[in-house]
A and B are shown apart, each in its own frame.
Chain A
Amino acid sequence: MFPAPSDEVLSVRNLSIGFRTPGGILPAVQDVSFSVRRGETLALVGESGSGKSITSLGILRLTPPAPFCQVRGEVILRTPDGRAHDLLALPEPEMRSLRGDAMAMVFQEPMTSLNPVHTIGEQIAEAVRFHRGLGKRAALGRAAELLELVGIPNPHRRLSNYPHQLSGGMRQRAMIAMALSCEPSLLIADEPTTALDVTIQAQILELLQELQQKTRMAVIFITHNLGVVAEIADRVMVMYAGRVVEQAPVVPLFKAPRMPYTQGLLRSVPRLDWAGRRGEKLAAIPGNVPDALAPPSGCAFAPRCEHHRPGLCDAAVPPLEASGADHDVRCVRWSELLPEAAA
């Protein structure tokens, strides 16, 4: 079924981001298109350097300024009042009022995104006052509510804590509280649990899911952990060397991946429930991620791909083809390889 446009919170079309480096233009993100609906969690997966963070920074227009970094494409954000904002064309002041209000971001390392010289309370209240024009006391009250919402015990006492006085998990909760302060329609979480221990990761994932159910916000969740993806995603977008290589709802993606890279990735992670296969070789993907400044001529995955066909795969960059309902794949041989993937 085609989604009703009003349901779509964010729609990204042909987003490309290039950095100017001494070695030439570095295409960090190329021709990325996707959309996220209300209440949906889109997971962005890929190895480090595949362009996940830069994609999200591009959406928020937080990439370095123009001569060093060029952003092209179209990013449309629909706010609950029914308006559509063309983010890449918006003047900076309007953009600023959207950031932290209609869309918010949570980072991997909360310590670097929280200001160490201000208390948690001040920082959350600041965001609320800026976007909602509340008075100081009302803003602090709201901050305490938010801390309670994200499960921080003794919220009123915690308001006067400095970031370094909180544990890693608590800081991440505080970051989430700050991001949620204005009930954003879109939350971008960039590896929010990567720096945390598994038991704390489980808490944060649970919290995010709970909050999403309450607020029906759209979430873009960036991670490289496939286990986490399976846990929280509705839809998954796999990136490799700056391009989307596969996009599908979570179950088909895990059960019937079509891009050889996705298949390799899924086979290479050991699983807890593999007790019988201990000591066996893992099906590792050979080789390394290509140099972003000198990518292979055709399919970027070709040098590591077991199905690579010379002359076919390296002729041109394969297009992102629809391979079924809501399942896109960037591989020239996907249809030939189908039976094998199903087996």
Chain B
Amino acid sequence: MIPAQNPAAAAAPVLRAAPRRRLRNPALRRFCRHRLAVFGACAVTLLTLLCIAAPPLLPYSDTFIDIRARFTPPGGSSAHLLGTDQLGRDMLSRLLMAGRISLAVGFSAMLISMVIGVCVGLVAGYYRGVLGTVLMRFVDAMLCFPSIFLLLAVSAFIEPSVSSIILLIACTSWMEVARIVEGQIRALRERDFTLAAHAIGAGDARIMFRELLPNAVAPIVVAATLNVAHAILAESYISFLGYGIQPPTPSWGNMLDNAQTYLESAPWLAILPGAMIALAVTSFNFIGDGLRDALDPRMEGR
């Protein structure tokens, strides 16, 4: 007989020791098989919770200037767990407050860009014809333009604020989503169930939002996670170059910018926010990969 053994369990001795509790939801089961994705999900959840809940509990607020403790390296003082910066502000507190901003920028920009991208993709995919062609050519044109230049060029002109940065990032990152959605919708609208909806007299809005969109959820969700990663990275870029979130409001990007002067004397000022960016971005990317597999039923026999 063929041994009745789960390949995932064979690869993961730790899992095998635990009683085999099969997850009922197959998508969740597939996601959990993706260990990096699980790691990413845990990291993102933990990071978000910490950023939201932890700062008030810390001994020093992010703006408190402890001038005697300037340039304390991480671990150098029991009061400042991750050290202090050039003004003696607590790094841990600042990292978490910056995380609030960076994550908020990431999520908000993602939400806005998803709304734009999904609507454009839906309309372009559903109506094809002149409208669809014009929309998609516009998307292509936007994609051709290197978005980082666009970001920098525009951000040099506008008054930088958290909301303007969010809008700016959203406006330069919806095109991929539009492309993905357009492709999906164009394929889905050829399926018989769309014709069936026409045959019962359904209107365009109903067909687009009730029949087609739910079938494109999987790639949209994947795109959304990757979009958060992209937005966090974009915010860091522009803040690093000084056009983004303005001090004293901390963000991981402007903390990096600030750290440039002290790269040799106080490397942790750069390493810590850099690590946070890397952690957040890779976590979101891992989640995206995991979701891609989890939401694709073909990844499993049945």
Interface, chain A (partner B; CB < 8 A): 18-25, 67, 70
Q: B1-57: which residues lie under 8 A (CB-CB) from chain A?
A: 1-2, 4, 6-7
A21 to B7, CA, bound (A): 10
Cβ contacts B176-193/A at 8 Å (1 or 0 each): 000000000000000000
CB distance from B57 to the nearest CB of A (A): 44
CB distance from A341 to the nearest CB of B (A): 37
Smallest Cβ-Cβ distance to A24: which chain B residue = B4
Cβ contacts B105-141/A at 8 Å (1 or 0 each): 0000000000000000000000000000000000000
Q: Is the CB of A21 within 8 A of B302?
A: yes
Smallest Cβ-Cβ distance to A18: which chain B residue = B2
Cβ contacts B271-302/A at 8 Å (1 or 0 each): 00000000000000000000000000000111
Q: Is the CB of A23 within 8 A of B1?
A: no
Residues of A within 8 A of B6 (CB): 22
Q: Is the CB of A23 within 8 A of B302?
A: yes
Residues of B within 8 A of A23 (CB): 301-302
CB distance from B285 to the nearest CB of A (A): 27
Cβ-defined partner of B301 (8 Å) among A18, A21, A67, A70: A21
Q: Is the CB of B2 within 8 A of A20?
A: yes
A22 to B302, CA, bound (A): 7
9 smallest A-B Cβ distances: which pairs?
A21-B301, A70-B2, A20-B2, A25-B2, A22-B301, A18-B2, A22-B300, A24-B4, A21-B302
Main secondary structure of the interface of A (DSSP, over half): strand
Residues of A within 8 A of B1 (CB): 18, 25, 70
A25 to B1, CA, bound (A): 9
A24 to B302, CA, bound (A): 11
Q: How many residues of B contact A (CB 8 A)?
A: 8
A19 to B7, CA, bound (A): 14
A25 to B5, CA, bound (A): 10
Residues of A within 8 A of B301 (CB): 19, 21-23
Q: B160-204: which residues lie under 8 A (CB-CB) from chain A?
A: none
CB distance from B31 to the nearest CB of A (A): 15
Residues of B within 8 A of A19 (CB): 301
A13 to B300, CA, bound (A): 32
CB distance from A122 to the nearest CB of B (A): 32
Residues of A within 8 A of B4 (CB): 20, 24-25
A70 to B2, CA, bound (A): 7
Residues of A within 8 A of B7 (CB): 67
CB distance from A18 to the nearest CB of B (A): 6
A70 to B3, CA, bound (A): 10
Residues of B within 8 A of A70 (CB): 1-2
A32 to B1, CA, bound (A): 17
A70 to B4, CA, bound (A): 12
Residues of B within 8 A of A24 (CB): 4
A22 to B27, CA, bound (A): 13
CB distance from B42 to the nearest CB of A (A): 25
Residues of B within 8 A of A18 (CB): 1-2
Residues of A within 8 A of B2 (CB): 18, 20, 25, 67, 70
A67 to B301, CA, bound (A): 14
Residues of B within 8 A of A25 (CB): 1-2, 4
A67 to B6, CA, bound (A): 11
Most A CB within 10 A of own CB, among B2, B6, B302: B2
A18 to B3, CA, bound (A): 11
What are 9 A-B pairs with beta-carbon distances under 8 A?
A19-B301, A20-B2, A21-B301, A22-B301, A22-B302, A25-B4, A67-B7, A70-B1, A70-B2
Smallest Cβ-Cβ distance to A20: which chain B residue = B2
Most B CB within 10 A of own CB, among A18, A19, A22, A70: A22
Residues of B within 8 A of A20 (CB): 2, 4
A19 to B1, CA, bound (A): 11
Smallest Cβ-Cβ distance to B300: which chain A residue = A22
Given contacts A67-B7, A70-B2, 4 further A-B contacts (CB under 8 A): A18-B2, A22-B302, A23-B302, A70-B1
CB distance from B253 to the nearest CB of A (A): 44
Smallest Cβ-Cβ distance to B29: which chain A residue = A22
A24 to B301, CA, bound (A): 11
A22 to B4, CA, bound (A): 9
CB distance from B174 to the nearest CB of A (A): 36
Smallest Cβ-Cβ distance to A66: which chain B residue = B2
CB distance from B9 to the nearest CB of A (A): 11
A23 to B26, CA, bound (A): 11
CB distance from B131 to the nearest CB of A (A): 32
CB distance from B293 to the nearest CB of A (A): 14
Residues of B within 8 A of A22 (CB): 6, 300-302
Smallest Cβ-Cβ distance to B5: which chain A residue = A20
CB distance from B20 to the nearest CB of A (A): 12
A21 to B2, CA, bound (A): 11
Residues of B within 8 A of A21 (CB): 301-302
A67 to B2, CA, bound (A): 7
Residues of B within 8 A of A67 (CB): 2, 7
Residues of A within 8 A of B302 (CB): 21-23
Smallest Cβ-Cβ distance to B301: which chain A residue = A21
